[in-house]
Structure 1
């Protein structure tokens, strides 16, 4: 999807891919085979590039710093992306900034987790359980996150040796996301705040704009995202995943790349997040971020069980039934529960638009 945006800007992309059949490798002309953890491969890949950026946060921080020290324009930089890679570092920095974060603690034993639950109980009432444990590094789409109901579960998790932080279970109304972009020059652009709907730790729907969100809270969320982008020195996109609570907003996670909560922008915003990310890393002026319709809903297409009609047949029927549904399939191997594409629907009424998007995504997943 970034490649599609690059074409319109007159740019061409070089892609570092582990396999020639990875999604981006299927569409780019200049593909280099290698792994993002191999510094030598990264050095060779970066030769001749005007700028280097990422579609995930798993490139080792030290490798990013090494390339930057050698003169490669690599965005976001190591100093920024660290806070999307390391949840402990992120929580420490955000707390020091005074950003709204849940109660949390770095832990190394079941006793630490039990003590934290007692702290939560004193602050919030109740028993303090369950608590949310997160792997310090590497988690995504619900992986690396555990809901611990008591000491036995805490002991079992600690025994795996995974570096952990624990957080209070936030009594949330819903989840939101604030997406902003920032250029090296320091220009920022904010998209409308969206509601994200999670199922089994995976985002299944994004509603733009977040229905019923008070204007002052929306502005607060956008300003928080802008402040974080500036304070952390982000270049490119920053997605701030938020919890909306009875007492305001709380930061859940950070991502520094085009993000699933922004896929709706391809059709639903004047400038897609993919083009905006390219504008940022190339230090172009930011594009307009307003909505193209009063209601926009993106529904993720997850891999279903094998069998049934082909995806091409499903597309045929879907387009006949709903010509306005916009489909993006990623060319990924299908596995149950894996994100293999998304559908975006635009319109005037959020309820009907959402129903159409969910129905289309389910049809593509299940064929029924």
Structure 2
């Protein structure tokens, strides 16, 4: 399989900050980027071109594919059928199977079980009566989640007792999904830390993995990622990394794949996956020889993958959420702070405005 040479144009579905950082990494390797999204966003500020269009607009997507040499995406909420259609015209990586599995939580759990992974106890839920039955099986406390379109704690409702079932079903919007479960009930996992494994797989099947970051969340949103992780997490890193590599191989995935885990007394428990670059890997821009963004570009273009070795003894990435971005003058005054602002103009509560990374030598 021949490589896509520098000077070519990479199409990115999605205009958010992940697309922005992918476009920056692509430019450093000599590629241009063309963004396709329903509306302009941070990625458009650093890209060579932008096409505004809906993700289900087949004629517009087909025209877009004719202007680029490869396509990737920065988030999961794109219809897999659109990815499959694009892939028939131009190399589209990762392919539609990775997207299909990652965006549907029931499929995630089923695939995890197939490769021997641990998951929280779970049941698919189709309506309020089936939620009540699932609660009898899984027990409470538990979390009710939509099977599609959830992120950063959205599309979730906590259930502390069976009496909360009706309110929880209403809270997630009583979703409708043709041909599958609209919601999933997950039993509580007793864990002492959260961490993620970020791997990248090339077109030749070669894989690399970064050091495992330990993640701290606040109100369902990632606050910090730290490397090296604590000793209890590191004790589970090898098993979790082997799982993530096995998942990438089973999917035939090309590009970055992220798997999130709970560290528990019984070992790593798989939570969810993302078939793309991930917030918990932002530290790799300054903290690793090759960032997750550069290796993703290398992978989808058929280039050799770069080293993931740390550039320092320790790295910490902190998200700047909402009004936190107003601290930018003070952060610029720190000698060891690498500031990334995403160019968003409205600092709403819960909105990721940027991040700052500190590398300790």
TM-score bin (small chain): 0.7 to 0.9
Deviations 1:84-118 (A, max 9, x none): 11111111222233221111110123343333333
Deviations 1:320-353 (A, max 9, x none): 2x121010000113212200000000115xxxxx
Match of 2:165 among 114, 139, 154: 154
Q: Deviation of residue 156 (structure 1)?
A: 2.8
Task: Calculate the TM-score normalised by the size of structure 2.
Answer: 0.88
Contact 2:332 2:339 in 1 (8 A): no
Contact 1:328 1:341 in 2 (8 A): yes
1:5 aligned residue: 25
Distance of 2:89 and 2:135 partners within structure 1: 47
1:168 aligned residue: 187
Contact 2:65 2:89 in 1 (8 A): no
Q: Deviation of residue 215 (structure 1)?
A: 4.7
Distance of 1:218 and 1:108 partners within structure 2: 35
Specify the SS of the correspondent of 2:72.
Answer: coil
Match of 2:96 among 78, 85, 90: 78
Long gaps (5+) in structure 2: 1-20, 176-181
Contact 2:127 2:174 in 1 (8 A): no
Query: 1:93 and 2:111 equivalent?
Result: yes
Contact 1:304 1:337 in 2 (8 A): no
2:153 aligned residue: 142
Match of 1:337 among 345, 350, 355: 350
Specify the SS of the correspondent of 1:13.
Answer: strand
Specify the SS of the correspondent of 2:193.
Answer: strand
Distance of 2:233 and 2:322 partners within structure 1: 35
Contact 1:81 1:234 in 2 (8 A): no
Please identify the structure whose Cα radius of gyration is greater: 1
Distance of 2:329 and 2:186 partners within structure 1: 46
Specify the SS of the correspondent of 2:194.
Answer: strand
Q: Deviation of residue 216 (structure 1)?
A: 4.6
Match of 2:270 among 229, 251, 254: 251
Task: Give me the CA root mean square deviation.
Answer: 1.7
Long gaps (5+) in structure 1: 121-127, 349-368
1:230 aligned residue: 249
Specify the SS of the correspondent of 1:88.
Answer: helix
Q: Deviation of residue 232 (structure 1)?
A: 1.5
Distance of 2:232 and 2:313 partners within structure 1: 14
